[in-house]
Copies of this chain bind each other. A is one copy, B any other.
């Protein structure tokens, strides 16, 4: 019996008690976890653990083995912890998700059907070297009553260990078995985790596109994750130029490595003033612009784009720009090149806005706002385990409610199916409050 199978089994067993927690006890647990992350007495220990990771990562950065963005994500400070704690308090305050039927239906006299939300069971969560993800994911697991086996990026090992210790301390203080949150520490353990299809109900994969594809290709367990984030901003004829420029800069520059950052700007001929404003603002913000021929006819200084640019997720301060004939052209480009993640239009025209919002097939479709709002915290979900670009189960930012399934409970008094049918008993199918 492997260590991981033991951990997954123990997590499943411990998760049962977690699932059965009454709502107020679950909220108290989450509030206490938030308090533990804000506790000034615990801070030095967490920062010391993080400093160990940072020292190793600094050396790797100097050797050119990791990039600066990765190094930056690794850092912990009181502000980051306070923001995670805020999210946990928000989760604690949100309505209890479990146990209460969301559908009650009388099928016949004395025969009552209920559909009751319940946890999936055990989550396998594989995430980047970003220690604040540990309490975030832990909090979502606790809120949804799921156990979790965590495998974080190895650069964050010491920080993850220290944060899992905080989680375990709070769980134990609430009479819960800490085994419900397990941390894997060895890189080889990932493949083994992916092989446990009888013990893990869902793999949540966070990280780069290549990594998510690797996970999907190497497991029979359902995988939730976003393999790609190729988002567009479309400037419609009725776009307000100042708004367009501000949104484009936010959507590209506020965090270029994020999956909800834009990679391509589309504009139609009548939106030339908005395009000009965007080009000026993006250039001033240091963005490399790669433009189609029609765009270059207006802005000859821009570097020419190639066809490959329409399918590139740069994750950096680079943006492709393409002219489209109008709304239909924008919809066709997005259909052909988008990753079904987040798509936005800038327009003051209600009819164009309605059509864009109705017809774009993507998890998030936005009007006159930055694509970077596509985020569980900003959506008010408390936190997110990730953004799903799949259509099955949860879509877009996935919070605690995306980690649930349900069971159908049917209570009767000896009812049998043979008694129903033509010329026999009929179902009443009456929904109950």
Contacts and interface: CB of A to CB of B under 8 A. Distances in A.
A158 B369 CA distance: 53
B414 A378 contact: no
Interface stretch (A52-60, A163-171, A402-410): A402-410
Nearest to A335: B12
A96 B396 CA distance: 23
B417 A370 contact: yes
B411 A369 contact: yes
A420 B378 contact: yes
Given A247-B416, A250-B416, A254-B418, A365 B105 contact: no
A177 interface: no
Contacts of A243: 413-414
A353 B410 CA distance: 11
Given A16-B359, A392-B202, A393-B393, A246 B414 contact: yes
A378 B419 CA distance: 12
A415 interface: yes
A413 B369 CA distance: 7
A415 B370 contact: yes
Interface in A346-369: 353, 357-369
Interface in A159-185: none
Interface in A225-260: 240, 242-243, 246-247, 249-251, 254
A405 B368 CA distance: 24
12 contacts: A105-B380, A107-B373, A113-B380, A120-B392, A202-B392, A222-B390, A246-B416, A247-B414, A365-B409, A373-B410, A378-B417, A395-B405
Closest 3 CB pairs of A and B: A369-B412, A250-B416, A380-B429
